[in-house]
């Protein structure tokens, strides 16, 4: 998508664990507001999610032994053309992945393999395979790849909804892109931590287990050796340590079947705008608006919002009669609907209120505002001002 969000993220500097050649992206603390069952694919059937009946705690060494063969190293190459003579440039990246079936299905982060021309997987025994892309979901930052292998060791899926702060957390991955099978341990530091990753709001597990570039896509395990999260990011910055993040495994489970069966998550839709909460007089001055509220900052080309006539600079007054006071409220209202629903949105434009009918059509990966992508791309303009308020995709 061609238009980048104009807002600059604030608060602590947080980078995705695959950054700078390791399958990266950027995070910011969201203080300002800024998902297995077996697929029907013949014999290629990842096992159903199971939770071990074992109630005793394992040692870190036992957890590492139990899952060491289930976490893989991933390396990627991306080819691009550019320069005066259209030279070909090759960039490399690295991350981690988790085996979920005996016949080669592997989960990782979308940002680890996004844009890659080739993806290779290295098992703990040193065997290396070319991987094929099965499906991706940018919204949850989950991807499924597959290698042509048999008799692999899949992880046992846990239940992230039962986690409690203070419980054991063990991370296994490929830090720095070259230290595969590295094990670190800590605790679950926080649940449902709301942060932004590449402009997308996510609710993640927080851990103090050491996470480093290259760990992205690796596993976070509980004291039973069950997978409870897919490592996604760490925080960096002066005097900032012990802040690692993982996608709750239940969120991963929610999308795996669709990714395997269709290559994307069916039934998902997006309004197709990036919004901005203006909640102070200083922000009003910065963005040159005369009222506080939720403003449309950018609009996806070809998305539901553009088709309905929503424009950058509109102040969102209400949705189906409910007054809109924040971007998060707007997102919650939109996500309470299903694909195909119609909503009535009232916006204020040039001092006049305009009522617009919006159809929440399903988005697919070949459409602008593709499935799972919440950022605005190819917009119809943006708010004035240089901006320092984090954006919010909806």
Catalytic center residues: 111, 141, 216
With tokens 């919204």, the residue in question is 139
Spatial contact of 18 and 93, defined as CB atoms under 8 Å apart = yes
Nearest of 65, 96, 390 to residue 233 by alpha carbon: 96
Spatial contact of 74 and 66, defined as CB atoms under 8 Å apart = no
Distance CA 316, CA 290 (A): 14
3-state helix/strand/coil string of 120-175:
EEECCCCCEEECEEEEEECCCCEEEEECCCCCCCCCCECCHHHCCCCCEEEEEECH
Dmax (CA) for the chain in angstroms is 66
SS percent in the chain: helix, strand, coil, step 5: 15, 35, 50
Spatial contact of 368 and 302, defined as CB atoms under 8 Å apart = yes
């Amino acid at each position: 998508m061609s238009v980048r969000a104009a807002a600059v993220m604030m608060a602590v500097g947080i980078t995705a664990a695959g950054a700078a050649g390791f399958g990266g992206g950027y995070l910011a603390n969201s203080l300002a507001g800024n998902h297995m069952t077996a697929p029907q694919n013949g014999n290629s059937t990842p096992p159903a999610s199971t939770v071990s009946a074992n109630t005793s705690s394992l040692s870190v060494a036992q957890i590492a032994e139990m899952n060491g063969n289930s976490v893989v190293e991933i390396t990627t190459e991306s080819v691009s053309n550019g320069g005066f003579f259209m030279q070909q440039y090759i960039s490399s990246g690295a991350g981690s992945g988790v085996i979920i079936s005996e016949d080669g299905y592997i989960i990782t982060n979308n940002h680890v393999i996004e844009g890659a021309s080739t993806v290779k997987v290295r098992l703990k025994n040193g065997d290396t395979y070319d991987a094929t892309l099965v499906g991706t979901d940018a919204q949850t930052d989950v991807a499924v790849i597959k290698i042509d292998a048999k008799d692999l060791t899949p992880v046992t899926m846990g239940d992230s909804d039962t986690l409690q702060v203070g419980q054991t957390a063990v991370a296994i991955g490929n830090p720095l892109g070259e230290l595969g099978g590295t094990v670190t341990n800590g605790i679950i530091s926080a649940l449902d931590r709301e942060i932004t990753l590449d402009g997308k709001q996510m609710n993640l597990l927080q851990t103090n287990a050491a996470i480093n570039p290259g760990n992205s896509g690796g596993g976070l395990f509980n004291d039973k050796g069950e997978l409870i999260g897919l490592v996604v990011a760490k925080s960096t910055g002066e005097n900032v340590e012990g802040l690692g993040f993982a996608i709750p495994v239940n969120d991963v489970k929610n999308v795996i079947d669709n990714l395997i069966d269709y290559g994307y998550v069916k039934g998902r839709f997006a309004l197709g705008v990036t919004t901005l909460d203006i909640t102070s007089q200083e922000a009003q001055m910065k963005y040159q608006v005369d009222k506080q509220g939720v403003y449309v900052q950018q609009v996806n080309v070809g998305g539901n919002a553009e088709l309905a006539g929503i424009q950058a600079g509109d102040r969102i007054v209400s949705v189906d009669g409910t007054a809109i006071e924040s971007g998060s409220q707007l997102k919650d209202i939109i996500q309470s609907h299903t694909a195909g629903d119609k909503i009535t949105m009232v916006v204020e434009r040039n001092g006049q209120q305009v009522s617009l009918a919006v159809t929440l059509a399903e988005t697919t990966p070949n459409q602008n505002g593709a499935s799972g992508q919440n950022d605005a791309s190819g917009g119809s303009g943006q708010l004035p001002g240089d901006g320092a308020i984090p954006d919010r995709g909806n």
